[in-house]
């Protein structure tokens, strides 16, 4: 549960050696670059490194060609710096080959679509045995082909048949459309068009190059469309063959461009004087010796490694976590809240242990816990889901506490254990329900005190006297909270009244005064003369409201832990309902479905509630997050340059 110690490294040397040094010591190493001008103070003698990236445009072209060939970016070996003219010529040639294939494909696609369209237009004329060429050559008669709604045709069919200068020939009567041709004289065409427009007639344009009967034409154009489709497949096969042929070289070119573009990008972090460059960045403390070894091949270059505490205020190291196994599993949950600051404790292992503890208590069932663990393993191994590891650990914790409760798939009579619904042996005259709720509150008190201790540790690391001594989660807060809990337990359980002045004043009143005056007291403890400028009236005016909020938070946070016991009780109640529905015969179908429902429904609710306890009740007392992730300059060959 720790943050990796960092050092700020400043590399310097002749400008001409920037690229080889960056390639050997920075790129793809444990080096988080920072903008040198924002850190180094050289009285204005430094200026930004003049840089441009001639590789980036070619890299984007190469990536576009990979996409066009349906290839994913991947690393391929390359040698030396790429010859930009040769790379440009290669990409131009490959792009031209693809352009030619695309043009041929588009032509065949247009031919296929056109042939299929014509065949589709003629399909509703298949019942017509007339040669279509005869229709094109009519001298005194005009015609239109199309369709109108079937309902409209049925309603106006008699009127159409009685029209003296109009002849409608239905060719295909479907349930929704009536296809057909209407004939009329040349002089009556305008009147006929107006009539059919009023009937919502939709004209279908026929290609005048079509000859033969509609059936013959349909067969002909269907055959032509099939030939065009075969030609399209042939072109796609050519494209696939081109991809197989060019993939090694194109991936190598792309990898080379990506590498040198990333190397060139480091210049934007650097500063330079007339003859020298300066490149700064954070490195893990244990990686500095390796840097020193690599730098030995550059005798004209040197470096300086500074510890964070030796740097000016405002220079913030990035955060790199050194997690245990549990911490790594629960890190995605931690990142939802935020990374720890460099000077904070890493709470991921603490979160993992407490999350599993709370989940196990709330979801204590041996059978269902093992079932959840199995589901988590499946999600982890086969689906590669990070959530699967969390579900597995929570399921195992639930199974462990299932042994404590003696519960197996909701059956309480298989194993001995702490039976929630039975009478308590520790609290005569009451059930274990009350005992479980009291234990949940006790667990909450212990967790809140532990969170305050962690807050004090963070305060020591950050040299923050408010966190250490005077804050509501510091020594004053621990004294007040622990003192009032002790007094309450002593009075209610042991019948020893501690609410007397000799106890109340030093243990309860004094800590509250420290919390109320924490701002000036913290400045005074830090030796900051600014404490004299703090106005007592302002401190008291806002302090009383903050103090009330602090007292309320102690109460609500403590009582919030009752949900730990409440969900354990709810789990027993749900399984009692399942057994009741199963009846005296214990219907196996009902038992199985009931257990699956409870596993899914309660597992989701418990997971959310435990996350709430972690984030609001615990993290809020000691964890401020705000850390900057440690991001070394690394080339990712399997991603696009824009990612």
Q: Is the pLDDT of residue 534 over 60?
A: yes
The DSSP result for 443-478, as a single string, is: HHHHHHHHHHHHHHHHHHHHT-HIIIIISTTSHHHH
Look at the chain and count its residues.
643
Pick the range with the lowest mean pLDDT from 158-167, 269-278, 399-408, 503-512: 158-167
User: What confidence score (pLDDT) does residue 288 get?
Assistant: 92
d(CA 556, CA 579): 35
Q: Write down the pLDDT at residue 44.
A: 63
Average pLDDT over residues 357-370: 93
Arithmetic mean of pLDDT, 92-98: 94
Contact 287, 59 (CB under 8 A): no
Contact 346, 627 (CB under 8 A): no
Q: How confident is the model at residue 403 (pLDDT cuts 50, 70, 90)?
A: very high
Helix/strand/coil for 131: coil
Between these two residues, 340 and 529, which has the higher pLDDT value? 340
pLDDT at 136: 66
Closest CA to 351 of 335, 366, 362: 335
Q: Parallel, antiparallel, or unpaired: how do β-strands 32-34 and 276-284 relate?
A: antiparallel
What's the confidence (pLDDT) of residue 41?
66
The residue with tokens 């509630």 is 609
pLDDT of residue 134: 67
Band (pLDDT 50/70/90 cuts) for residue 282 is very high
User: Per-residue pLDDT for 464 more than 60?
Assistant: yes
Residue 93 has a pLDDT of 94
N-to-C CA span, the chain: 31
Who contacts 565 (Cβ-Cβ below 8 Å, separation ≥6)? 361, 433, 436, 437, 439, 440
For residue 133, give the nearest of 188, 214, 245 by alpha carbon.
214
Element containing residue 137 per DSSP (H, E): none
Mean pLDDT, the chain, as a whole number? 87
Output 220 or 60, whichever has higher pLDDT: 60
What whole-number distance in Å separates Cα of residue 546 and Cα of residue 510? 16
pLDDT digits (tens, 9 = 90+) for 473-484: 999 999 999 999
Per-residue model confidence (pLDDT) at position 77: 92
**At 211, is the pLDDT very low, low, confident or very high (cuts 50, 70, 90)?**
confident
Backbone angles phi, psi at 281, to 5 degrees: -175, 165
CA separation for the pair 460, 3 (Å, rounded): 15
Beta bridge partners of 141: 185
Cβ partners under 8 Å of residue 115, min gap 6: 221, 222, 224, 225, 228
- Ramachandran category for residue 586: left, alpha or beta (phi over 0 → left; psi -120 to 50 → alpha): left
Cβ atoms of residues 638 and 75 within 8 Å: yes
Measure the CA–CA gap between 15 and 299, rounded to whole angstroms: 14
Residue with tokens 């066009």: 68
At 180 the pLDDT is 83
Name the band, by pLDDT with cuts 50, 70 and 90, for residue 375: very high
Taking a C-beta distance cutoff of 8 angstroms, is the pair 335, 352 a contact? Answer: no
**pTM to 2 decimals?**
0.76
Query: What are the b/e assignments for 72-89, b being 16+ CB within 10 Å?
Result: ebeebebeeebeeeebee
Q: For 6-83, where are the alpha helices, taking DSSP H only? A: 18-25, 36-39, 55-68
- Two tokens at 156? 């106006």
- In the predicted structure, residue 550 carries a pLDDT above the cut 60: yes
Contact 408, 416 (CB under 8 A): no
pLDDT at 123: 73
**pLDDT tens, position by position, 266-276:** 999 999 888 89
Mean pLDDT of 45-65: 88
Among 75, 68, 122, 70, residue whose Cα is nearest residue 95 = 68
Q: Would you state the pLDDT for residue 42?
A: 57
CA distance 372 to 391: 6
Tell me the average pLDDT across 553-575. Answer: 91
Q: Which of 222-226, 301-305, 392-396, 458-462 has the lowest mean pLDDT?
A: 222-226
Torsion sign, CA atoms 272, 275, 277, 278: negative
- Give per-residue pLDDT as tens, 413-451: 888 888 887 776 666 666 788 889 999 999 999 999 999
**Lowest mean pLDDT across 95-99, 211-215, 380-384, 421-425:** 421-425
Q: Which long-range contacts (CB under 8 A, 24 or more apart) does 500-509 make?
A: 507/479, 507/480, 507/483, 508/480, 508/483, 508/484
What pLDDT score was predicted for residue 561? 94
3-state secondary structure at position 219: helix
DSSP secondary structure of 496-535: ----SHHHHIIIIIHHHHHHHTHHHHHHHHTT-GGGGGS-
Strand duo 6-14 + 202-203: pairing: unpaired
Phi-psi bin for 417: left (phi > 0), alpha (psi -120 to 50), beta? left
Higher pLDDT, 553 or 186: 553
Hey, which of 172-181, 396-405, 431-440 has the most confident mean pLDDT? 396-405
What was the pLDDT predicted at 511? 92
DSSP codes joined into one string, 372-395: HHHHHHHHHHTS--HHHHHHHHHH
**What is the rounded CA–CA span in Å between residue 434 and residue 403?**
20
Report the distance separating Cα 350 and Cα 355, nearest Å. 8
Q: What pLDDT does residue 543 have? A: 79
pLDDT > 70 in the chain, percent: 95
Residues 6+ apart with CB under 8 A from 493: none
| φ, ψ dihedrals at 204, nearest 5° | -115, 125
Nearest to 356 by CA among 380, 306, 390, 325: 390
Q: How many CB atoms lie within 10 A of CB 387?
A: 15
Looking at residue 643, its pLDDT comes to 47
Question: In Å, what is the CA distance from 219 to each residue of 66, 107, 253?
Answer: 40, 21, 49
- The residues near 63 (Cβ < 8 Å, ≥ 6 apart) are 73, 254, 640, 641
High-pLDDT (> 90) share of the chain, %: 45
């Amino acid at each position: 549960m720790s943050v990796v110690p960092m050092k700020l490294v400043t590399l310097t040397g002749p400008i001409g050696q920037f690229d080889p040094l960056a390639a050997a010591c920075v790129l793809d190493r444990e080096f988080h670059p920072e903008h040198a001008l924002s850190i180094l103070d050289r009285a204005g003698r430094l200026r930004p490194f003049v840089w441009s990236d001639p590789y980036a445009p070619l890299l984007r072209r190469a990536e576009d060609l990979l996409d066009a060939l349906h290839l994913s970016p991947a690393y391929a070996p390359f040698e030396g710096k790429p010859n930009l003219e040769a790379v440009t010529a290669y990409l131009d040639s490959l792009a031209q080959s693809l352009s030619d294939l695309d043009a041929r494909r588009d032509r065949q696609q247009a031919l296929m679509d056109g042939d299929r369209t014509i065949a589709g237009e003629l399909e509703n004329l298949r019942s017509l045995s007339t040669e279509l060429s005869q229709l094109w050559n009519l001298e005194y008669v005009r015609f239109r082909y199309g369709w109108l709604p079937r309902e409209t045709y049925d309603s106006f069919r008699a009127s159409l048949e009685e029209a003296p200068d109009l002849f409608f020939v239905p060719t295909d009567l479907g349930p929704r459309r009536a296809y057909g041709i209407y004939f009329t004289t040349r002089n009556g065409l305008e009147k006929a068009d107006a009539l059919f427009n009023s009937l919502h007639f939709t004209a279908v344009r026929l290609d005048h190059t079509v000859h033969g009967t509609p059936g013959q034409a349909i067969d002909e154009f269907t055959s032509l469309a099939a030939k065009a489709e075969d030609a399209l497949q042939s072109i796609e096969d050519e494209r696939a063959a081109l991809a197989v042929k060019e993939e090694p070289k194109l991936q190598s070119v792309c990898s080379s461009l990506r590498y040198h573009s990333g190397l060139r990008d480091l210049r934007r972090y650097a500063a330079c004087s007339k003859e020298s460059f300066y490149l700064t960045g954070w490195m893990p403390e244990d990686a500095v010796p390796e840097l020193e070894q690599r730098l030995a091949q550059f005798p004209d270059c040197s470096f300086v490694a500074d510890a964070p505490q030796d740097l000016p205020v405002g220079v913030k190291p990035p955060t790199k976590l050194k997690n245990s196994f549990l911490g790594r599993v629960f890190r995605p949950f931690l990142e939802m809240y935020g990374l720890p600051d460099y000077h904070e404790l890493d709470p991921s292992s603490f979160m993992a242990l407490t999350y599993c503890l709370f989940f196990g208590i709330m979801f204590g069932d041996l059978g269902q816990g093992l079932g959840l663990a199995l589901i988590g393993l499946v999600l982890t191994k086969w689906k590669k889901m990070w959530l699967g590891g969390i579900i597995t650990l929570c399921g195992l914790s639930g199974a462990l506490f299932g042994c404590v409760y003696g519960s197996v798939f909701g059956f309480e009579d298989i194993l001995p254990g702490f039976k929630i619904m039975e009478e308590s042996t520790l609290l005569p005259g009451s059930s274990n329900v009350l005992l479980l709720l009291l234990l949940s509150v006790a667990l909450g008190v212990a967790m809140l005190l532990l969170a305050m201790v962690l807050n004090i540790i963070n305060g020591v690391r950050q040299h923050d006297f408010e966190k250490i001594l005077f804050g509501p989660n510091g020594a004053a807060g621990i004294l007040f909270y622990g003192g009032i809990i002790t007094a309450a337990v002593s009075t209610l359980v042991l019948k020893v009244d501690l609410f007397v002045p000799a106890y109340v004043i030093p243990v309860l009143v004094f800590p509250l005064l420290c919390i109320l005056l924490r701002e000036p007291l913290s400045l005074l403890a830090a030796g900051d003369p600014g404490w004299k400028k703090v106005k007592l009236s302002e401190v008291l005016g806002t302090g009383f409201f903050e103090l009330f909020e602090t007292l309320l938070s102690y109460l609500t946070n403590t009582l919030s832990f009752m949900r730990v016991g409440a969900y354990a009780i709810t789990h027993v109640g749900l399984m009692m309902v399942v057994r009741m529905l199963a009846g005296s015969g214990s219907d196996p179908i009902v038992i199985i479905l009931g257990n699956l429902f409870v596993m899914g429904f309660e597992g989701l609710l418990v997971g959310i509630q435990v996350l709430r306890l972690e984030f609001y009740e615990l993290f809020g007392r000691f964890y401020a997050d705000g850390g900057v992730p440690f991001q070394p300059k690394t080339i990712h060959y399997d991603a696009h340059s824009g990612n």
